[in-house]
Every structure is written in structure tokens, then in C-alpha cells.
């Protein structure tokens, strides 16, 4: 009976810690795929940590390391994190645990007896090994994230630079006063027609009255929830990719890299730059709100 109460208490502590991690991730505008990419875990494993369900992990010593890395990624208070981890994974005399999974999915902790070998040495070696692996894994994740950010920034800068002009490609010719006046008159008459022709030649997007259409210019994260708060889309869209959604307005939309992206709801274009905070690459808005 005592072991069952202990297991239930640990499971509840795990759920509370997972809820706190999910809350911090949401407040920082980070989706599950982004967190999984930085932690080098799958999106399903990140969701399991947030749900306090460790049944699919290979051992509690790894779960503890993943939770600590996740908390540091979200800049969680170290003392608060340490206290929560102590409640989730209570310490034993030898600091070594075995995981016995039952059909209910709960976790039971049992001490592993290592006869003939000092237990504190085994615990210390295990802690050092896991700690070194997690630090190396975090450093690699941070380096890859920094490289991706640099590449995205370079792509945006290159797309905004004007084409280079060479002196050999420019020629200047003099024009008589009569020719200047005639050319100015012709230009004033041709400008409206040229503008109309350019507008007519621009590609048109057909969007239904209750449909949301989004096209990204750069490879970008795209997160969309419907009127009930249900996640209808959360993944990375390739450069130039288009997405359409219908029947769930109003939609809450977040575009990770909004530069050059286009959006339209019910045939009315949405200017993403108006929904982009100063100094930020992302944009968030509500589409189809009555």
C-alpha cells in the first residue's frame, strides 16, 4: 500500500512539472517541434515529458536529465526545478533505480543491489556519464540553432539587396526640348494603362469566403489553431509552400519567418507586417474574426 501511494505521489509531481514546462514553452512562443529540435528529442517525447508520462523512456536517470535540460532551455528557476525533480525522482541511498513498468503505465522505483562493489562509485559514475552526454547534446543543439538562424538572416538580407549596377551598363543621351515634352506627355498617358496591365498580369489567388490561405517565402514554422483552440497545423513549411484551411474560423495564426509571406482570408489580403513586432521575424494574427 505504501509503495502504491509513493508511486501515485511521484506521478502527480511529474504531471505538475510537465504542466509548468508546457506553460513556460507556450509563453515563450515555442512550439513542440521547435523544443524537440533543440533538445534532440522527438515531438512525442517532449509531449510525454509535459504529460508526466515516462513509460516509454529507457530509465529514470535519463528522464531526470531530459527534464533538467528542458527546464534550462525554458530558463526555469534552478531552485524550483531542483525541488520539482526531487519530488518527481526521490533519491535513495545508492542513487540507482530500476524501472518496473506495469500495464497501468505507472512507474515503480526499486533499489538495485550491487554486491561486492561500492554503490556510491557506481552512482557517481552514472551521474557524470549522463551529465557529460546532456551537456554535449545541448551544445550541439545550440550550435545548430545558431547556424540555422544565421542562414535565415542571410537569406532575408540577400533578398532585400538591390541589384548591382555597372557603369558599362548605363548610357545617357541628350534630348531636345520638343522631344522631352512629347515624351513626358506620352508617359503621362501611358502610365495608367501600364499600371492597369501590370495589375491584370499579377497572379490572382482564389480564396473561398470562409477559407484561410497562407504562403511562406522562406522555410518557416507555421502554427494554427481553430475557433475551439484545437491545433490544426504545427510543422515546418518549405520555402514557397502554400496551406489552406476551411471551416474552423476564426484562426489563431503564428508564422515563424514572416518576411515575404502572404495571407488571405475570404478573398481579403492580410498584411503580415502589421502583425509583426519591432525587431522580430515572426508574426501572429487572428484570421476570420467577426
Q: How many Å apart are CA 65 and CA 71, to the nearest integer?
A: 10
CA distance 149 to 155: 10
pLDDT (average), residues 88-108: 45
Q: Within this chain, do residues 237 and 124 fall inside the same structural domain, yes or no?
A: no
Work out the pLDDT band at 57, boundaries 50, 70, 90.
confident
Segment 175-188 shows an average pLDDT of 48
Q: What's the pLDDT score for residue 201?
A: 44
pLDDT tens-digit profile of 191-239? 444 434 443 444 588 999 999 999 999 999 999 999 888 899 999 999 9
- CB-CB contact of 213 with 242 (8 Å): yes
User: What is the count of structural domains for the chain?
Assistant: 2
Burial-class residue 217 by CB neighbours within 10 Å (0-12, 13-18, 19+).
middle
Boundary residue ending a domain (111, 140, 169): 140
Task: Find the CATH number of the domain harbouring 253.
Answer: 2.60.40
On the question of pLDDT at 184 being above 60, the answer is no
Are the beta carbons of 40 and 141 closer than 8 angstroms? yes
Closest CA to 199 of 191, 188, 207: 191
Q: Is residue 100 part of a domain?
A: yes
Average pLDDT over residues 121-128: 69
Is 229 found in the same domain as 122?
no
φ/ψ (deg, to 5) at 276: -115, 120
Convert the pLDDT of each residue in 227-259 to its tens digit: 888 899 999 999 999 999 999 999 999 999 999
Total-model pTM: 0.34
Asked if residue 238 is part of any domain, the answer here is: yes
CB-based contact 240:216 (threshold 8 Å): yes
Range 48-75 average pLDDT: 87
Neighbouring C-beta atoms of residue 57, cutoff 10 Å:
18
**What is the C-alpha to C-alpha distance for residues 233 and 248, in angstroms, rounded to an integer?**
12
**Residue 204: inside a domain:** no
74 — pLDDT class (breaks 50, 70, 90)? very high
Q: Of 140, 167, 195, at which residue does a domain stop? A: 140
Among 115, 140, 165, the domain boundary falls at 140
Are both 219 and 125 inside the same structural domain?
no
Task: Kindly state whether residue 259 falls inside one of the protein's structural domains.
Answer: yes
Residue 184 lies in a domain: no
Does residue 186 sit within a domain? no
Domain residue limits at 273: 211-287
**Shared domain check, 228 and 108:** no
What is the CATH number for 72? 1.10.260.40
Q: What percent of the chain has pLDDT over 70?
A: 60
Q: Is residue 54 part of a domain?
A: yes
- Residues 215 and 134 reside in one and the same domain: no
Residue 182 lies in a domain: no
Asked if 10 and 119 sit in the same domain, the reply is yes
Residue 145: what are its φ and ψ, rounded to 5°? -65, -40
End-to-end alpha-carbon separation of the chain, Å? 56
Amino acid at each position: 500500500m505504501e509503495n502504491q501511494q509513493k508511486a501515485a505521489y511521484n506521478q502527480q509531481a511529474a504531471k505538475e512539472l510537465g504542466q509548468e514546462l508546457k506553460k513556460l514553452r507556450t509563453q515563450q512562443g515555442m512550439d513542440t517541434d521547435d523544443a524537440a529540435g533543440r533538445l534532440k528529442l522527438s515531438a512525442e517525447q517532449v509531449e510525454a515529458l509535459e504529460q508526466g508520462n515516462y513509460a516509454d523512456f529507457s530509465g529514470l536517470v535519463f528522464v531526470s536529465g531530459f527534464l533538467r535540460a528542458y527546464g534550462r532551455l525554458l530558463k526555469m528557476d534552478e531552485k524550483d526545478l531542483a525541488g520539482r525533480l526531487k519530488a518527481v525522482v526521490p533519491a535513495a541511498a545508492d542513487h540507482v533505480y530500476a524501472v518496473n513498468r506495469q500495464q497501468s503505465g505507472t512507474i515503480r522505483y526499486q533499489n538495485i543491489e550491487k554486491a561486492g562493489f561500492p554503490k556510491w562509485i557506481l552512482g557517481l559514475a552514472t551521474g557524470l556519464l549522463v551529465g557529460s552526454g546532456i551537456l554535449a547534446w545541448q551544445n550541439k543543439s545550440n550550435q545548430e540553432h545558431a547556424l540555422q538562424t544565421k542562414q535565415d538572416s542571410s537569406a532575408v538580407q540577400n533578398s532585400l539587396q538591390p541589384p548591382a549596377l555597372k557603369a558599362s551598363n548605363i548610357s545617357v543621351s541628350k534630348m531636345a526640348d520638343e522631344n522631352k515634352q512629347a515624351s513626358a506627355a506620352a508617359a503621362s498617358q501611358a502610365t495608367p494603362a501600364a499600371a492597369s496591365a501590370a495589375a491584370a498580369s499579377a497572379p490572382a489567388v482564389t480564396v473561398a469566403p470562409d477559407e484561410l490561405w497562407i504562403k511562406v517565402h522562406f522555410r518557416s514554422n507555421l502554427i494554427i489553431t481553430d475557433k475551439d483552440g484545437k491545433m490544426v497545423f504545427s510543422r515546418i513549411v518549405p520555402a514557397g509552400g502554400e496551406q489552406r484551411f476551411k471551416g474552423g474560423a476564426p484562426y489563431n495564426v503564428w508564422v515563424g519567418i514572416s518576411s515575404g509571406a502572404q495571407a488571405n482570408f475570404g478573398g481579403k489580403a492580410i498584411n503580415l507586417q502589421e502583425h509583426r513586432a519591432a525587431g522580430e521575424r515572426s508574426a501572429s494574427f487572428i484570421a476570420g474574426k467577426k
